[in-house]
Amino acid sequence: MHFLNITVSVFVQVFLHRLVRFLLEICLIETDPSKYFYVAQGMLTIDGIDDVEEMRLTDEAFDILGFTQDEKINLFKCTAAIMHFGNSQWKQRPREEQAEADGTEECEKVAHLLGIEAADLIKGLLKPRIKVGNDFVNKGQ
């Protein structure tokens, strides 16, 4: 029985490491969490917390709740999009009050993960459409 427990444990570890590598790849994230502004604002490691075990429990909880594999992947993609969004840079246009993207790499990753066009994301953030009376206008930010 001890051998069986070890074999199952090794299988679970290999599976989880493959799952993590897969998620890193599809979520366009690196293994160093300190590279992500929003994540780096908290504690990156906590004594007594096993990240691999927590990942296993999270995946198991999603299964218990009836999430499909696609739904789970989309949740991770949304989380990764927020991580990338925290690294996006913005600047004010010279002599104007209008903001503009200071590089688009992170916004392109966010858009890809959310399944939208990067130009539409940036335009929606910088010039949102608002309703004024019966009309819609673009507001500069």
Mean pLDDT by 10 residues, the chain (141 residues): 49 63 87 89 86 86 95 93 93 81 92 95 85 75 61
- Residue 32: what pLDDT? 87
pTM above 0.75, yes or no: yes
Q: How many residues does the chain have?
A: 141
Could you tell me which CATH class the domain 1-69 is placed in? Answer: mainly alpha
Q: Residue 62 carries which side chain, given as an amino acid letter?
A: F
> Residues 38, 83: contact at Cβ < 8 Å?
yes
- Residue 2: what pLDDT? 47
- Residue 105: what pLDDT? 94
- Residue 100: what pLDDT? 83
Radius of gyration over every alpha carbon of the chain, rounded to an integer in angstroms: 20
- Residue 11: what pLDDT? 53
- Residue 86: what pLDDT? 94
Structural domain spans, the chain: 1-69, 88-140
CATH code that applies to domain 88-140? 1.20.120.720
Would you call 31 helix, strand, or coil by DSSP?
Answer: coil
